[in-house]
Amino acid sequence: MTDFFKDIPRITYQGPEASSEFAFRHYNPDEVVLGKRMEDHLRFAVAYWHSFAWPGGDPFGGQTLDRPWFGDTMALAKQKADVAFELFDLLGAPFYCFHDADVRPEGASFAESLRNLEEMVDYFGQKQASHKTQLLWGTANMFSHRRWMSGAATNPDPDVYAYAAANVKAMMDATAKLGGQNYVLWGGREGYETLLNTDLRAERQHAGRFLQQVVEYKYKIGFKGTILIEPKPQEPSKHQYDYDVATVYGFLKEFGLEAEVKTNIEQGHAILAGHSFEHELALAASLGIFGSIDMNRNDYQSGWDTDQFPHNHPEMALAYYEVIRAGGFTTGGTNFDAKIRRQSLDPEDLVLAHVGGMDTCARAMKAAAALWEAGDLEAARQARYAGWDTPAAQAMLKGGLAEAAARVTAEGLEPQPKSGRQERLENLWNRFV
Ligand code: XUL
Ligand code: CO
Domain chopping of the chain, boundaries: 32-374, 387-432
pLDDT per position in the chain (433 positions), as tens? 999 999 999 999 999 999 999 999 999 999 999 999 999 999 999 999 999 999 999 999 999 999 999 999 999 999 999 999 999 999 999 999 999 999 999 999 999 999 999 999 999 999 999 999 999 999 999 999 999 999 999 999 999 999 999 999 999 999 999 999 999 999 999 999 999 999 999 999 999 999 999 999 999 999 999 999 999 999 999 999 999 999 999 999 999 999 999 999 999 999 999 999 999 999 999 999 999 999 999 998 988 999 999 999 999 999 999 999 999 999 999 999 999 999 999 999 999 999 999 999 999 999 999 999 999 999 999 999 999 999 999 999 999 999 999 999 999 999 999 999 999 999 999 999 9
- Written as one string, the DSSP assignment of 102-143 is HHS---SSHHHHHHHHHHHHHHHHHHHHHSS-EEEEEE---S
**Does residue 181 have its Cβ closer than 6 Å to ligand 1?**
no
**Does residue 190 have its Cβ closer than 6 Å to ligand 1?**
no
Candidate from 49, 228, 230 with most ligand 1 atoms within 8 A of CB, to mutate: 230
Q: Tell me whether residue 301 is exposed, middle or buried, using C-beta atoms within 10 angstroms of its C-beta: 0 to 12, 13 to 18, 19 or more.
A: exposed
Q: Which residues contact 85 (CB under 8 A, 6 or more apart)?
A: 127, 131, 133
**Does residue 359 have its Cβ closer than 6 Å to ligand 1?**
no
**Does residue 298 have its Cβ closer than 6 Å to ligand 1?**
no
Q: Which residues contact 9 (CB under 8 A, 6 or more apart)?
A: 20, 22, 90
402 Cα: distance to centroid of ligand 1 (angstroms): 49
Q: Which amino acid is at 357?
A: G
Q: Are strands 290-295 and 261-266 parallel, antiparallel or unpaired?
A: parallel
Candidate from 139, 185, 190 with most ligand 1 atoms within 8 A of CB, to mutate: 139
Q: What are phi and psi of 142, to 5 degrees?
A: -120, 50
95 Cα: distance to centroid of ligand 1 (angstroms): 17
CATH topology of domain 32-374: TIM Barrel (3.20.20)
Query: Which ligand is closest in space to the CA of residue 240?
Result: 1
275 Cα: distance to centroid of ligand 2 (angstroms): 16
337 Cα: distance to centroid of ligand 1 (angstroms): 7
pLDDT of amino acid 355:
98
**Does residue 337 have its Cβ closer than 6 Å to ligand 1?**
yes
CA dihedral for 122, 123, 126, 127, sign (positive or negative): negative
359-379 exposure pattern, b = at least 16 Cβ within 10 A, e = fewer = bbbbbbbbbbbebbeeeebee
pTM: 0.97
Half-sphere exposure (CA, 13 Å, Cβ side) for 42? Answer: 33
pLDDT of amino acid 209:
98
163 Cα: distance to centroid of ligand 2 (angstroms): 22
Our separate counts of H helices and E strands in the chain read 16, 14
